[in-house]
Structure 1
Amino acid sequence: MDTFASGHSRSVRRGGAALVALLLAGLVAAPVAQAGTHHVVRADRGDLLKVTPVADLSRAEVVAFLAKGKVGTGTVRYGVTAYRLTYRTVGTDGGSTTATGLFVLPKTSSSRALGLVSDTHGTMVHRDYAPSVGEDFGRLSPYLHAAAGKAVAAPDYLGLGKGPGVHPYMDTRSAVTASQDMLRASRAAAGRAGRVLTGDLYLTGFSQGGQVAMALAREPGAFRVRAVAPVSGPYELSREEIPALFDGRVNDTSGVFYTAYFLVAQNRLHPLYKNPAEAFRAPYADRVERLFDGRHGEEDVLGALPKSVKELLTPGFYERMRHPTGGLKEALEANDGVCDWKPRVPVRLYAARGDTDVPIGNARGCAADLASHGVRAPVMDQGRVSHRESAGKAAPKIARWFAR
């Protein structure tokens, strides 16, 4: 479920005559004023509040960036311009909030209308790893698809990037609403840049984002979904991902990270425990919740946790993970079933048999769910490669498929 990004770059590429022209043309919007002091007037979901330029890369710079990230460059045709969008969305409680995301445009010589790729990212624990802020792994796929000729909307999700609060990790519902509203904001941002979107939508996402992509395909809003190609998503939490924590298919390091993150985040939404000591052994119970405040990187988190899930959890909660009941079962079921429906468009499920973060059984289970509705969705096995490598191998293939 994780990108395990190596850290975000603090250098942001800005400038260029074209970018200045866009700024002068009014692409960058001023923040919307707050409502009156006595009540809050909820704006429409997806309202675009602010556009901030974050990158301007030539074709050669895109090629170099992707090559450094070990992503194939055969589909690169254009340079890209990227922006951070701040927009209105809804929180886990249904109330009004804001979120951010990365919007990328190809630097084409024509003003032709563009299809839009929704590219949803994998697990990120530090808010600055999110695509609109960190110029690292989270931008590889968005830049790739934009350089192939499509606009790209890459939401940060709630509580990551520049959005308020903490990230509700693996809460599919809020990830979908944030992604829907990012699409609406992207349409407005394209208009401000003098570009038009066709209304055609192509859905992809990696790891956590693969699960989000499958769920978003069912609720795309006003866009017309043309194809769905998620990569290494944890579609089957109850039937595959959780059992894989205990039978050796998920490596210990990733298992500890995912388990701790999931339990802390989901406890804010479902009654998993009243006190961390009910779920986590000492001394981890005293530190685990603050590790997932959006300000700690993966290295910080892993350095403060034990080496295995059995060392992390109390004996009682360890058994509860193996046989979920109550709030834990409720949390898992709330995030399962993203493949249990009938898409009307082509679906390809990219995965890797060498993945020890999100085992390929997740994709096979998703394919089986889709088949039960009469939909054939091939599992595109990327081979004996790691979780992160599966994304690098799959992305150029997906870009070619979307182009067709």
Structure 2
Amino acid sequence: MSARPTAFARRTRRIAALRAGAAAVCCGLLLGSAGVSVAAVQAPATAHERDAPSYGRGSLVSAEKLYTLASPAAVSTELRRAGFETSTVRHGVTAYRLVYRTVDAQGRPTTASGLLALPRSGERRLGTVSFAHGTGSHKDDSPSMSRAEFVSAPVIAHASAGAAAVGPDYVGMGKGPGPHPWMDIPSETTASLDMLRAARAFAPHTGRTLQRPVQVTGFSQGASAALALGRALQDGADPYFRLAALAPISGAYDFGGTELPALLEGRVEAKSGAVYAAYTLVAFNRLHPVYDDPAEVFRAPYDRTVEALFDGAHTGEQLMRGTPGTVDELLTAHGRDLLAHPTGGLAEALRGTDGVCRDWAPRTPTRLYMASGDEQAVTENTDRCQEWLREAGADVPVVDLGAVDYAGSRHLGSNTAGTTAVVRWFEHLRRS
């Protein structure tokens, strides 16, 4: 977790400092970023927008051209700066930020933003890929607010292989108002689905159209979001889009039954575990009655400060400085017991979070990607997801990416290696 660097080497140095206590890698991405300059692109209403679902969900509020990577070489430079491979790059890319109408975790009308990346190719009708990103603490830790960064690179990589690639920022991230309801599956699903609708509405303004089949992927937090979006598309949540393939990477699919016990047992990297524990209690308490007073679950002095760290305005470095190095330093005995034996509002929240692999079977090509020795999303999560999908009738293979590494993290490495693998697989499926 570090402030957004301008080059991969600078990020690596900050991560080294992080592991020494100055900053840290956590929760599926490098936290902390800065804004980008944009040029506005007008996006008048289309027939699709007029036919949008309730609350005008998916209709465009604005569209901004962020940057153009005019050639494959320019894209390769962009991806290398973020620490990603370039072997799948075939086209230049143009990137846009879309702001669109959606609903929040309570079902109330709101707006959200996301990144749309289009290949600079001769194709007018484009296959569509949706990528859901990993965890961030600051609103700028999102695809449309970053460039040449860990959180935006997968979207660019998919577009450079010929797809229209969308990366929702999620509710409360990017340009969206209010706090981010972290790991809230329903709002991740609506934000992702409505981002697809907004992309479909905007694409004709660039001379392109999006095809109906959607290939869905995501990393860490976004792996669960990807499964939920895939299920919604398969169930007919949108009259136009349909699920074509599903490839989540390194998710905490059994968050309550596997990830939280691993966190408490010390099988999750210690600093990451402390931040996960804090984020879980603070974010879930905003939607469910988990605690009445922070002092019930957080030790002093964190009981007075930790909630504010997750307001969307604090950077990753501030979050790292404001949290202890271990779960035991953070939690009271009651807080630890609550994570070990969830009840009440926390148990209710976890039923939603842990349901992404349960009681459904994808009817399209599906793979689960993971990295052996993952120090954040322990691999038993993937085992459990595969087991549940098999029980529902889907024999889904697990792809072990091996001992991949990104700045000393196998979890983060699974995103870089997994992105390349998924881009290749999705491109193969589009051609077949």
* TM-score of the superposed pair, with normalisation by structure 1: 0.91
Tell me how far 1:6 sits from its aligned partner: 5.7
Q: State the alpha-carbon separation in 1 of the partners of residues 321 and 29 from structure 2.
A: 14
Equivalent residue number for residue 337 of structure 1: 355
Tell me, what secondary structure is at the counterpart of 2:56?
coil
Superposed CA offset, 1:329-383 (max 9, x none): 1111121110111110011101111211101111111000111012111111111
Q: Say whether the 8 Å CA contact 1:205–1:213 is kept in structure 2.
A: yes
- 2:402 is matched with 383
Cα displacement (A) at 1:30: 7.1
Return the alpha-carbon distance in structure 2 between the equivalents of residues 162 and 193 of structure 1: 22
* Structure 2 partner of 1:178: 191
Among 301, 324, 333, the alignment partner of 1:315 is 333
Aligned position for 2:12: none
Question: 2:227 aligned with 1:214, yes or no?
Answer: yes
SS at 1:56's partner residue?
strand
- Whole-angstrom CA distance in 1 between matches of 2:30 and 2:272: 13
Structure 2 length normalisation: TM-score? 0.86
Q: CA deviation at 1:89?
A: 0.2
User: Which residues of structure 2 form unaligned runs of 5+?
Assistant: 1-25, 46-53, 405-409
The whole-number CA distance in structure 1 between the counterparts of 2:355 and 2:170 is 20
- Kindly report which structure 2 residues correspond to 1:28-43, keeping only aligned pairs within 5 A, or say none: 28-29=42-43, 43=55
Corresponding residue SS for 1:129: coil
The answer on 1:246 being equivalent to 2:282 is no
Q: Does 1:44 align with 2:56?
A: yes
Quote the sequence identity (%).
46
- For residues 253-283 of structure 1, give each alpha carbon's deviation from its aligned partner in whole angstroms, at most 9, with x where no partner exists: 1111111112111101000011111110100
Residue 268 of structure 1 aligns to a residue whose secondary structure is: helix
Which aligned segments of 4 or more residues in structure 1 are displaced greater than 6 angstroms?
none
Note if 1:266 corresponds to 2:284: yes
For 2:55 and 2:285, the matched residues in 1 are separated by 29
Are 1:86 and 2:93 an aligned pair? Answer: no
Structure 1, residues 171-200: CA drift from partner, whole Å, max 9, x if none? Answer: 011010011100100101111111011111
Aligned to 2:424: 400
Matched, 1:118 2:143: no
Q: Which residue number corresponds to residue 306 of structure 1?
A: 324
Q: Is the 8 A contact 1:236 1:362 kept in 2?
A: yes
Q: 2:294 aligns with which of 270, 276, 284?
A: 276
Q: Which residue of 2 aligns with 1:35?
A: none
Where in structure 1 are there 5+ consecutive unaligned residues?
16-22, 32-41
State which drifts further: 170-179 or 381-390. 381-390
Cα contact 2:296–2:332 (8 A) shared by 1: yes
Aligned 1:74-153 pairs, distance under 5 A:
74-108=87-121, 110-135=122-147, 136-153=149-166
Residue in 2 that maps onto 1:3: 28
Local SS of the residue matching 2:418: helix
State the distance in 2 between where 1:246 and 1:5 align. Answer: 23
CA distance in 2 between counterparts of 1:55 and 1:3 reads 25
Q: Supply the AA of the counterpart residue of 1:358.
A: A
Residues of 1 paired with 2:140 and 2:35: CA distance?
10
Q: Which of 372, 387, 392 is 1:353 aligned to?
A: 372
